[in-house]
Amino acid sequence: MPKTPAPAFPLSRRALLAGAASVVGAGRAFAAPGKRSQADVAYQDRPHGAARCEICALFLPPDQCRSVVGSVSRQGWCKIYVGPDRS
């Protein structure tokens, strides 16, 4: 059986885990400050009665929210909904 060449640099488990941790931490740094996850605000992709994202004061067409991370549906709703009469 042929010998495999040694790696150009030794990679320890500690170095691998430190690198993975820095990548995960970097992902959090790029999240918009002040925005909450869809799970935190109980986001759903259907309206709550007449209340829906497209008439919320926080909605940014075509599919963004000032306070929630990620795309949202115009017909969606969450617990931080701000209706047109409450803005």
- Residue 72, exposed/middle/buried by CB under 10 A (0-12, 13-18, 19+)? buried
What integer pLDDT is reported at residue 26 of this predicted model? 43
Number of domains comprising the chain: 1
Looking at the domain assignment, is residue 60 inside a domain?
A: yes
Does some domain include residue 36? no
Q: How far is it, in rounded angstroms, from Cα 6 to Cα 22? A: 26
Predicted TM-score (pTM) of the model is: 0.61
Q: Which domain holds residue 70?
A: 48-87
Residue 86 lies in a domain: yes
- Tens digits of pLDDT across the chain (87 residues): 667 666 665 666 666 566 655 444 444 445 568 999 999 999 999 999 999 999 999 999 999 999 999 999 999 999 999 998 765
Strand residue runs (E) in the chain: 59-60, 64-65
Residue 47's pLDDT is 98
Structure tokens at 61: 């067409």
Residue 20 lies in a domain: no
Specify the DSSP class assigned to residue 46.
S
pLDDT value of residue 27 = 43
